[in-house]
Amino acid sequence: MIIPMIDIIFFLLVFFMMSMLTMVVQKSVPIQLPQAVASKVDLQRKIPITVTSNGQIYVEAQPVTLDQMIRYLQAEKAKGDDMVVILRGDAKAEYGAFVTVLDTLKQMGIVKVSIATDSK
């Protein structure tokens, strides 16, 4: 007789715990978050750009200067707008080099940029 009562108490406890989770008030500034669709990336040309810890830029595993990267991306952009730049930055890289590449991509009108990260 006691086992069914323990089951009922357990289910009631779980029910109330789950219902309390929906009653939590979000205390944050209301903003409109950007939309992200990861599945469309697979259908497009991917161009990997890597910034190493010493600030060296690599485009598709080839070391390049910023001007060479710009020329390469202009040629790729002329082939069509279906390209996506995958920006990879070393965890020890200076933010300045990474931001310089991002600013250059924005000035070129390349808006399809994915920033690669490792999952924890």
Q: What would the pLDDT profile of 88-101 be if each residue is shown by its tens digit?
A: 888 888 888 889 99
Q: How, if at all, do strands 45-51 and 57-59 pair?
A: antiparallel
Decide if 15 is inside a domain.
no
Report whether pLDDT(70) > 90.
Answer: yes
pLDDT for the residue numbered 28: 41
Whether the full predicted model's pTM is greater than 0.85, yes or no, is no
The CATH number of the domain holding residue 73 is 3.30.420.270
Comparing C-alpha atoms, which of 117, 52, 58, 60 is closest to residue 83? Answer: 60
Decide if 9 is inside a domain.
no
Decide if 72 is inside a domain.
yes
Decide if 68 is inside a domain.
yes
Query: Mind listing the pLDDT tens digit for each residue in 10-61?
Result: 999 999 888 877 765 544 445 455 565 554 444 567 888 888 888 889 898 8
Contact (CB, 8 A) for 49 and 85 = yes
Report how many domains make up the chain: 1
Domain that holds residue 67: 39-115
Decide if 24 is inside a domain.
no
- Of the chain, the end-to-end C-alpha distance in Å amounts to 47
